[in-house]
Chain A
C-alpha cells in the first residue's frame, strides 16, 4: 500500500465537467488523502507547515487540474512557490521529497492533434509541462507520465473519470507500474500501465 495524496485545483469547479467527474470518482476511493486546494485556501493563504507535513506523510503526490494557458491554475503555482522551500525540497538539506513520485492529471481543451508540431499549439503537451517535470527532478522526485484528457470540453468525461479511479487504485495498491509510467510520454484511460494483478 502506497500512501497517495490527491490534490485538486480548479477555480471554476462550478463550470467543470471532466474535472468534476474525476473528483467524484476519486472521492469514492478509500485510503488516499484528498485535498481541494481552492476550498482549503480560498484566500490563497497557504499553510506551508501543514502542506510540508502532508508531503512527508505521503509517497505519491497527484496534482489534478485543468490546463489554463499552458500552465496550472494560479493557486497551484502559489502552492509550489511556497511549499517547495529551499532546504526542504531542494538546495542544501533539501532532500525531504527524495524518492517520492509526482504525477499530474490534466485536462486540455484542445484535441490531441493540436499538441503536435503541425497542430495549432505547435508543441507537445509534455513540452508545456516541462516546468513541472523539472520541479520534480530538482526535488529528487520521480515524474510519472501525466494522465491526460484532450478535448476535455467536448469529450464524454465518464470513461476518463473511471480510468482516473483505476489509476488511483493502482497507485494505492502498488499495481501501477511506475517504471513504465516514468518512461511513458502521457497516459490515458486506455493506456494505464497497470500490472497484471490489477
Chain B
C-alpha cells in the first residue's frame, strides 16, 4: 500500500510541478511530462520500479485518446478522408521504411535487420503529436488533419507489420535464445497479455476472428451502446456512467488485443461509430480526465525510461542516429506534403510534427527482439533513439511555432482561396451562432461570404453553394480579400471573446460604414463591445434564456399572452439597464474600480431587488397599463361628466 502511494505521489508531484512550468515557458505539456520523467528516474530506480510495465499500463491513455478522436469524427468525415489516409499514410510508411532500411544497410546491417528497423522507425508518436496538436488548436488545420491521417494509417499498418516481422527471424539468434521462443508473439500487440483468441489458428481462421471482432465493435457500438447507456442513465449516478464508459473502452481494447489488433485502432472505430450518438459529449467528458492522466503518466515513463548510462557511453552514435532519423523522416514528410499540396505553415507542421519515432516503436522493438530478428544490443540503442526522438518533438513544435510560422504570417493553405465575388454580407464564424444567421440571410435571398476555420464544414457549405472560405476572420488581409471595404454588414459570430472585441474595434475604426453585428458572450462583454464602437450587440444565450423563462411562466399557469408580455417587459428592463451602464463602462479600468459604473450598478440593482421583494410586481407596472379597464369609480365619474 505504502509502495503504491509512494509511487503515485512521486508521479503526481513530478507532473504537477513540471507541467505548469513547461506550459508557462511555452514548451507545451508533453515536454513538461518528459522532463518530469527524466528528473524522477533516479527516484524510480531507487524504488525499484518497473518503468516499462507502468508504461504499458499508461498506453491505455493513447487508447482513450484515439477513442476521443473517433468521437469527434463522424463516419462521413472518415470516408471523406480516405484518399489522404491511404495515399499520404501509405506512402509515408512505405517510403520511410525503405529510406531507413537503406540507411541501416549503408551502416552495415544485414537487410533483415535493416527492414525491421525501417518498420519500427516508420511509425510516429500518436500520443505526442495529437496531444500537442490539440493543445495548440491545430487539429482542424490542414496540416493537423494530414498528420492525423498518417497517424491513423500507421496504427492500421502495425497489424501487417506484426505478421511480417517473424518472417525476418535470424537462425543464429533463434538458436541462442530458443528457450524464450513462443513468448514473442504474445508479448506483441497486447504488451505481454498472455491470452490470445487467434493463437494456434490458421490464417483464414485468424482473419475470420479478426473481422468478427471488428464487426462486433462496429455493430455493438451502433446498436448496443444506446440501450445500455439509457439503462445506466436511468440510475442517475454519474460515476456509474463513467464506469460504463471505461468498461466500453477497456473492453474494446481487450478484445482488439486478444485478436492481435491495435487497441487504439479498435477504440477509434468505436468512437467513430458513437460520433452521432446523443451520449457523445457525456462520453467525452467522462473519458477525458482518464485520458489526460494516463497520457501524462505515459510521457513521464518515456522520460524515465531513458537509459542514461547507455546514452552517455554511446552519446555520439545515438544522438547522430536520432538526428539522422529525424532528418530522413522530415525529408520524406516534406516531399509528401508537396505532392499532396500542403503549403506554407501546414507543410512544416506536417513535416516536423511527425518526424519522431513513436510509442509503437517500443512495442515493435520488444517484439522484434523476441522474434529473434534483432540482437538486443542494437535494440537497446534503438530504444534510446526512439525515446530521444520523442523528446525532441516538442522542440520541433517550438521551432515550428517560433521560427517557421511567423515567416508564413499564419498563412494556411486554404487561405489562398481566391475570394471571388464580394458578398454584401460577411459572416465571421459559421458555428451554431453564425450558421443560423447565414441560413436566415440565404433564405431571404442575400449573398453571404462565410469565413471560418473548420475545413470540413466549409467543404460541406461549399457543396451547397455557399461562398465559404477557410481562414482566420480576425486577420485584416483576409477580411479585405473577402470584401470588407464594399460590405454592408459584418456579422461577428466567432467563439473567442477577445477576438470578437478586437475584430469589432478594428472594423469600427477602419471601416466606419460597415454595420457590425457582434456576438457578445456575457453582460460585461456587451459593455466592452459598446466601448469598441459596436451598437448592434447580441448576447448569444440571452434570447433563448428569455424564451425558457417565458415557457416557465406558461408552465406555471400564466396565460401565454401575459407570459409573452412579461417576458418582453423583462427584456426591455434588462435592455434599459444595459443602455444606462454601457456608456459608464471603461474597458481600461477594472469594473469594480470604475466608480460611476459601480455606483449606478448598485443603484439599479437595489431598485430591482426592491421590485423583487414586492413579489410579482417587478415589471408589471409596465404590462398592467395595457388593457386594464378603468375602475367602476372612474366609470361613474366619467358618465356623470358626460
B559–A14 CB distance below 8 A:
yes
In the bound complex, do residue A39 and residue B559 qualify as a contact, i.e. CB atoms below 8 Å apart?
A: yes
Known interface pairs A109-B630, A153-B630, A153-B632; A11-B639 also in contact (CB < 8 Å): no
* B628 close to A15 (CB less than 8 A): yes
Question: Measured between C-beta atoms, what is the minimum distance from B523 to chain A in Å?
Answer: 26
Total interface residues in chain B, CB < 8 Å? 17
Q: Of the candidates A38, A68, A154, which one forms a contact with B561 in the assembled complex, judged by CB atoms under 8 Å apart?
A: A38
B639 proximity list for chain A (CB < 8 A):
110-111, 114, 120
Contact check, B632 vs A42: say whether CB atoms are below 8 A apart.
Answer: no
Indicate with 1 or 0, residue by residue over A67-86, a CB within 8 angstroms of chain B CB atoms: 01000010000000000000
Cross-chain contact of A120 among B563, B632, B635, B642 (Cβ < 8 A): B642
CB interface residues, A 20-56, toward B, < 8 Å? 36, 38-40, 42-43
Is B629 a contact partner of A15 (Cβ separation < 8 A)?
yes
**Distance, CA A93 to CA B610, complexed state (A):** 60
B564:A15 contact, CB within 8 angstroms = no
CB distance from A104 to the nearest CB of B (A): 19
B48 at the A/B interface (Cβ < 8 Å)? Answer: no
A117 on the B face (CB < 8 A): no
A11→B630 contact, CB < 8 A: no
A124, B336: Cα distance in complex, Å: 91
Most chain B Cβ neighbours within 10 Å, of A12, A38, A43, A111: A12
Residue in B closest to A155 when the chains form the complex, CB atoms: B632
Is B629 a contact partner of A109 (Cβ separation < 8 A)? Answer: yes
Taking CB atoms and an 8 Å cut-off, the chain A residues in 92-127 that contact chain B are 109-111, 114, 120
Q: Are A38 and B560 in contact (CB under 8 A)?
A: yes
The answer to whether A12 touches B626 (Cβ under 8 A) is yes
Are A13's CB and B630's CB within 8 A?
no
In contact, B642 and A12 (Cβ under 8 angstroms): no
Please give, as numbers and ranges, the residues of chain B lying within 8 Å of A13 by CB-CB distance.
Answer: 559, 561-562
Interface residues of A in 142-194 (CB under 8 A from B): 151, 153-154
Complex formed: what's the CA distance from A83 to B636 in Å? Answer: 39
Q: How far is the CA of A12 from the CA of B562 in the complex (A)?
A: 8
Query: For B635, what are the chain A residues with a Cβ–Cβ distance below 8 Å?
Result: 109, 151, 153-154
Q: Report A-chain residues with C-beta under 8 Å of the C-beta of B628.
A: 12, 15
User: How many Å lie between the Cα of A73 and that of B626 in the bound state?
Assistant: 11
The number of chain A residues touching the other chain, given as a range, is: 20 to 34
Chain B, 558-582, contact with A by CB distance < 8 Å: what is the 0/1 string? 0111111000000000000000000
A43: which B residues are within 8 A, CB to CB? 564
- Give chain A residues whose Cβ lies under 8 Å from the Cβ of B561: 11, 13, 38-39, 42
Q: Which residues of B contact A154 (CB under 8 A)?
A: 632, 635-636
A153-B629 contact, Cβ under 8 Å, with A39-B559, A120-B642: yes
Nearest Cβ distance between residue B636 and chain A, in whole angstroms? 8
Q: Which residues of B contact A10 (CB under 8 A)?
A: 627
Enumerate chain B residues within 8 angstroms of A109, measured Cβ to Cβ. Answer: 629-630, 635
Contacting B559 at CB < 8 Å: which of A38, A111, A151? A38
Known contacts A13-B559, A153-B635; is-contact A42 B564 (Cβ 8 Å):
yes
Tally of contacts, chain A with chain B, CB under 8 A: 50
Residue on B nearest A14 in the bound complex, by CB:
B562
Are A39 and B629 neighbours in the complex by a CB distance under 8 Å?
Answer: no
In the complex, what residues of B have CB within 8 A of residue A36's CB? Answer: 559
Contact of B563 among A42, A111, A114, A151 (CB under 8 A): A42
Complex: A11 Cα to B561 Cα, angstroms: 7
Q: Is B627 within 8 A of A12, CB to CB?
A: yes
Rounded to whole Å, the gap between the CB of A42 and the closest CB of chain B is 4
Binary A-proximity of B618-630 (CB < 8 A = 1, otherwise 0): 0000000011111
Q: A153-B635, A154-B635 are in contact. Are A11 and B626 (CB under 8 A)?
A: yes
CA distance A111 to B632 in the complex (A): 12
Beta-carbon contacts under 8 Å, B293-319 to A: none
Chain A residues with CB under 8 Å of B562's CB are: 13-14
Q: For the complex, what is the distance from the CA of A154 to the CA of B629, rounded to whole Å? A: 11
Which residues of chain A have C-beta atoms less than 8 A from B642's C-beta? 114, 120
Chain A's nearest CB lies how many Å from the CB of B142? 45
Closest A residue by C-beta to B564: A42
Note all chain B residues with C-beta closer than 8 A to A14: 559, 562
Let me know if A11 and B627 touch, CB within 8 A.
yes
User: Please, how many angstroms separate the alpha-carbon atoms of A40 and B632 in the complex?
Assistant: 30
Shortest Cβ distance from A41 into chain B, in angstroms?
Answer: 8
Chain A: CB-nearest residue to B560: A42
Enumerate chain A residues within 8 angstroms of B631, measured Cβ to Cβ. Answer: 153
The docked-state distance in angstroms from the alpha carbon of A15 to that of B630 is: 10
A11 to B628, alpha carbons, bound, how many Å?
9
> In the complex, what distance in Å separates the CA atom of A109 from the CA atom of B635?
8
User: Chain B nearest CB: distance from A111 CB in Å?
Assistant: 7
For residue A118, give the distance in angstroms from its CB to the closest CB of chain B: 11
Q: Min CB distance, A103 to chain B, in Å?
A: 23
- Bound form: Cα–Cα A31–B628 in Å: 32
A3 to B596: give the CA distance in the assembly, Å.
66
Complex: A26 Cα to B403 Cα, angstroms:
81
Of all chain A residues, the one with the shortest Cβ separation from B620 is A14
A11 to chain B, nearest CB (A): 5
Min Cβ gap B641→A in Å is 9
* B 591-642 contacts with A by CB, 8 A: 626-632, 635-636, 639, 642
Find chain B residues with CB under 8 A from A15 CB: 627-629
Pairwise interchain contact A39-B560, C-beta atoms closer than 8 A: yes
In Å, the complex CA distance between A16 and B626 comes to: 12
Q: Which residues of B contact A111 (CB under 8 A)?
A: 639
In the complex, chain B residues whose CB is within 8 Å of the CB of A39: 559-561
For the complex formed, measure the closest distance between the CB of A51 and the CB atoms of chain B, giving whole angstroms: 17
Q: What residue of chain B has the Cβ atom nearest to residue A110's Cβ?
A: B639
Give A111 to B635 CA distance when docked, in angstroms: 10
Report the bound CA distance from A39 to B562 in whole Å. Answer: 9
Which residue of chain B has the shortest Cβ distance to A39 in the bound complex?
B560
B522 to chain A, nearest CB (A): 27
State the CA gap A38–B562 with chains docked (Å): 9
| Most chain A CB within a 10 A radius of its CB, from B559, B563, B626, B628 | B559
4 more CB-based (< 8 A) A-B contacts, given A120-B639, A154-B636 = A38-B559, A39-B560, A42-B564, A153-B635
> Mind listing 29 A-B residue pairs with CB under 8 Å?
A10-B627, A11-B626, A11-B627, A12-B627, A12-B628, A13-B562, A14-B562, A15-B628, A15-B629, A36-B559, A38-B559, A39-B559, A39-B561, A42-B560, A42-B561, A42-B563, A68-B627, A109-B629, A109-B635, A110-B639, A111-B639, A114-B639, A114-B642, A120-B639, A120-B642, A153-B629, A153-B630, A153-B635, A154-B632
**Which residues in B have some Cβ–Cβ distance to A below 8 Å?**
559-564, 626-632, 635-636, 639, 642
Those 4 A-B pairs whose CB atoms lie nearest each other, nearest first: A12-B627, A120-B642, A38-B561, A42-B564
